[in-house]
Structure 1
């Protein structure tokens, strides 16, 4: 070991140095406390052996100074003294001495004490090495977490949760949450929601939900329905995650124009529609298994639909909310949730549930991630859009910068293809149409739904009347579509230009019998609170012109484009 020997007596110092050197130790000598402290700072010896009484800085003062320099590490100090005063020894031990050795030094006795000290120093070094390794590991973990957190935030696209209709709460049990909440609008203004709960907790659970974020946003942006989105997300979970990993998910759409909530729920607790007082007006069943369990052939994409009135709220949550356990082993449960909802205002409903959960938990940490989405259902949340109303400067014509495509779909394709996103994706390839993508989506959706529901399936909109009317209507639509053997729908979309102006011409024709469009269009301006019959009015408000063929099974709508007649 490296030993700092401090003694003002030359004779005692040389005798001690010989004893220590003979036993293989490296010895550094000092004749006073000041010089010893200087040497200590430079050489950092393993052990300090010092006399007590020295001129200037004595052994007590030197030991205190050395311990301050060495802190927080342990620095062994042995005191040398010709005195055997017990009080002196107690004082030395209190200020940081580890052992006492009598003068003149007994080599064998001192050596035994040094062996013990060396053993303790070895343990200290090993402990410090482990502490350093843990510190490096922790620093690396923090760097990895920072990168992972940045990546997850980017993939989750958290800024889209700033939608004015949406409020949310996510409370992870660790740094990373296995629960995911996401929200985005379709081109037509319908709000899509995703609340996903990955298997497990922490980073691994957070990774479980990542494969479903990008397709959720991409398909919503293209206008796909939540049934198609659910099927795609199921495929992504099966494609990317191990067989023992799955994702419980609630996928919902809130149509603020039609006042309808549609839900696909797989493995999460049952979502609710609340009235302004906080009472459940409708409970959506948990019909499906979580994403990633069934293959595509077995997967069931059936959705449940329910109408709402302005002022209602839609809420969905993960099982972590209900299972949050207090010190008595009781979960938060549906009863406490219902109490929190009823005892809070619509504006403070999210905070009311949060406060209820925190009061229930006390100072305990929930054992599972908690997530909650609250959506205010109000028709004012629908982004109203209207046409420019500008008259045509000249008749539209086919000239440079124009294009046209048509798509005819038979019964087989109508059963299998989500038509509106397909058309929207084709039109989006042309730069000049991007400013009207929202209007175009709504026009395409209305024209297609009218052609399919009424032209080919002969559905009666009066089925939508009543508390469960929308669910009954959609169930009958699904049944008739599955049985459809004949019938066609043809879309054509073209860009027309005239001097300084451009239009998008959207035409839709079905092979059905048609209807008395003059009678229907004449009633559009009459006030009506029925949950149907508003689609054609919306189409008329969005287009600069809206014309039916004589039979009523074909319609042509012109949408104004910006003054970009020279662009594609």
Structure 2
């Protein structure tokens, strides 16, 4: 029976004894103190509420039959006062009928003890409750630490990504499925006035996917600042990712360089499902299918680097999206797909980004997307 007396489970836990009989209080108190727990006492339901609010105990032992406010009403109020914190209430009663037990459970009781109290059974129940409480406390602490780490990681990501203030030259949106997005959209100008942008989609979603795309950020900005082409940027990112990513992790990406003076755009696509030049009236004039493998998948000897330049004979815009948009599902499980996206691109609206976001939300309804959604629009 030594495990019942193990101090680490119990030290620091508080137990509120609610009983109008002093002798019963003394018996319960002696048992609880022998286990290393702190004891609080109340002789009525009303006093129990006052002590509970003041001391915030972890467990409540509640007598049912008391003058004034009985144990059932006191239990209901204590459960309401507990909020989201789980405070187990053990009813201690001489009432044995099924109806009495059901009434107690409906009031919020978590367990029952019959009078006269068997000390061995009481200690066993308290042991189980204490272990559960400790596990919940550890879980809360873990979540608190995880939230702090997530906040730090988010701050790092936000500082790595430069402000996306390009006005009408670039519009975009990212809709993450969790705190972190495995999708990232970056852009920057070269010294000769070209706008270069990348939409990158790391494997999976959440923090793990976000960590995957961090090397893309550093390389893209550094090489764009040096006026390097999208082919050179893609090759450099691929080599870096291949060295550091574990097997099975990679980054699908599309890089575009818009030359406004020449009226052309050069696009490198490695694993992005939809990249196109769209006319101002919504017609798909050119598609860039994935001609290269996703970044980080192959080493330098196997890597093929293919970019294509397209001369824009009429006004329009470059559009690209991650697979999270095309694979979004409605409440029946139907995929959004390219056909529906193409219809949205043809819609005569002034704010295409807001329109697509609104249509996506209408399409998925209450079925939240299971993958990060991102897309960009760059007029030329």
TM-score clears 0.5: yes
Q: For the aligned residues, what is the CA RMSD?
A: 3.9
Q: Which residue number corresponds to residue 60 of structure 1?
A: 69
2 CA distance for matches of 1:362 and 1:87? 44
Pair 357,274 (structure 1): closer, same or farther in 2 beyond 3 Å = same
Pair 274,126 (structure 1): closer, same or farther in 2 beyond 3 Å = same
Contact 2:18/2:44, CA 8 A, preserved across alignment: no
Where in structure 2 are the equivalents of 1:64-75 lying within 5 Å?
64=73, 68=77, 71-72=81-82, 73-75=87-89
Larger Rg: 1
Q: Which residue number corresponds to residue 371 of structure 1?
A: 374
Q: Is the counterpart of residue 357 in structure 1 residue 366 in structure 2?
A: no
Q: Which residue number corresponds to residue 564 of structure 1?
A: none
Q: Which residue number corresponds to residue 92 of structure 2?
A: 78
Q: From 326, 335, 342, give the equivalent of 2:339.
A: 335
Greater mean alpha carbon deviation, residues 248-257 or residues 300-309: 300-309
Q: From 266, 270, 277, give the equivalent of 2:270.
A: 266
2 CA distance for matches of 1:372 and 1:88? 61
Q: From 195, 209, 219, give the equivalent of 1:205.
A: 209
SS at match of 1:313: strand
1 CA distance for matches of 2:328 and 2:248? 24
Q: Is the counterpart of residue 256 in structure 1 residue 246 in structure 2?
A: no
Q: Is the counterpart of residue 196 in structure 1 residue 239 in structure 2?
A: no
Larger relative contact order (C-alpha < 8 A, sep ≥ 6)?
Answer: 2
Pair 66,208 (structure 1): closer, same or farther in 2 beyond 3 Å = closer
Contact 2:75/2:108, CA 8 A, preserved across alignment: no
Structure 1 residue 192: deviation in Å?
A: 0.2
Pair 332,26 (structure 1): closer, same or farther in 2 beyond 3 Å = closer
Q: From 164, 167, 172, give the equivalent of 2:171.
A: 167
Structure 1 residue 175: deviation in Å?
A: 1.6
Give TM-score scaled by structure 2 length.
Answer: 0.78
Where in structure 2 are the equivalents of 1:467-482 lying within 5 Å?
none
1:510-561 Cα deviation digits (max 9, x unpaired) = xxxxxxxxxxxxxxxxxxxxxxxxxxxxxxxxxxxxxxxxxxxxxxxxxxxx
Where in structure 2 are the equivalents of 1:108-507 lying within 5 Å?
110-112=116-118, 115-157=120-162, 159-309=163-313, 311-345=315-349, 347-377=350-380
2 CA distance for matches of 1:31 and 1:351? 60
Structure 1 residue 291: deviation in Å?
A: 1.3
2 CA distance for matches of 1:253 and 1:87? 75
Contact 2:17/2:42, CA 8 A, preserved across alignment: no
Greater mean alpha carbon deviation, residues 336-345 or residues 252-261: 336-345
Structure 1 residue 96: deviation in Å?
A: 7.9
Structure 1 residue 283: deviation in Å?
A: 1.5
Structure 1 residue 336: deviation in Å?
A: 0.4
Contact 1:167/1:374, CA 8 A, preserved across alignment: yes
Give TM-score scaled by structure 1 length.
Answer: 0.54
Structure 2 residue ranges without an equivalent (≥5): 1-14
Pair 163,298 (structure 1): closer, same or farther in 2 beyond 3 Å = farther
Pair 67,75 (structure 1): closer, same or farther in 2 beyond 3 Å = farther
